[in-house]
Structure 1
């Protein structure tokens, strides 16, 4: 009988506040959200089209970049349209099922992108340390299998979170002080013990993102050791330059994410609106800047972009 009463009290519709405390500035806050989303869609779509249509770019490095661009589109789409609906139309109402779906796709896509960055570090390691075996080791078949493994890893590790949230009774409040549904933010407004949610969330973080960061670091240590053994200064510079774009993307992806996690867990004295804005940085900035970084620093892509836009006009 008690369980029945608690079930009857459980909320099925929630209201996202956007950026709490800055509701009157939502119109202004929406501008960088909208601009970054448009740039992310156009830039990553262009990158995908160029890589898929130009056979000279059907190499492992560019195929992984194509995966990264597709993931960036999905990642930004998971949160920005919802945020813009809140900012422009005050449309913050969201059902429990939609909220849990957003948690699932946002978290799994983030884990998937982390995996791609790890594989791209491995790609650079093979290209620099074993250049003669590069294309024979990283075949198109292997790249497809790697993509499938990353997919299964990301969606498999995040999938139990659906059931961990579905078991909760939401009888405290139906107000979410955020621009999107997040696992722990949603769990904290429930009336049940959420220790398993906290521990499982930590497990996902440690088994995916932390492991990826450690392996990326090891890859670059091995790369640097190999590079500094190259006698030619020009060859060393060329080898390091091929890693420059990837290092920039890694910093853009992990630095805001780690800082956001630390502020969420230990920043009790930080204002809620600052936490929400920081939490959106790693969703907005990497998808917007990744195609720009690769377009500027990668000569092959830069040449193809110039060819697409200017050769036809000439």
Structure 2
């Protein structure tokens, strides 16, 4: 297939559409019309960095698409449309692209977001860049936390990080299925995030590890976060792993869960919304006045965590 045949066969005429996209695939630019604020995020996934070289097309689609959707959840934004830039090496032949596109189409339908354009090119290294756009009347920012807020997280932490050594060894049998699923297909709590609009003060998605992502809220809100390791939501297998389980939960990354803050008076409302959506939510601490930092406790005892979050340009990462 040449470029235009590929687009027509794999990416045109998907069923998920949006009325505010006046012109999508098939022109030099897409045309969008909407008076409501538009939130935008871009994620690039590179073979050997964001997914292993042996990943199948469906897994590549998931590892590229779901982190981008998680950014919309962090802003409590409703998905509108996305664009796709796809760099394909020669060995990613027609069948590979068909399978990739089919899985991406399924995910787009699941999260009700329209593919509105993009670019395809031939290159040496498989690279997928997804640019997501969402609508939100009042986007939730990292700098909105208030003193005495509760600090919450969704889901279980650390499962994807715990799965990573097994993923790299391509050894599915030796890892709990929940860990495998968390790495390859995280369950982004998007509908719950949208339901939280007007209820929470700040939010971030946990992509690089709780240690670092909590610090982003502390620094941008100019507050101290006091978090309790005893309250972190770890599944039974990670709890049994002891210190390594705690390391995965605090610094491992790839969780794509929400970390958010809200006033204590809305605790019951948050729990009610979570129950409606079937989402696990856990209070793990509180914000306080003070120098921007994250303070860790084990019960009432201050503790120092020796681990750092993932960074793309860390020589050891």
Fold match (TM-score > 0.5): no
Q: Which has the higher strand share?
A: 2
Task: Indicate the structure with greater helix content.
Answer: 1
* Length-normalised TM-score, structure 1: 0.26
Query: Quick one: higher RCO (CA 8 Å, sep 6+), 1 or 2?
Result: 1
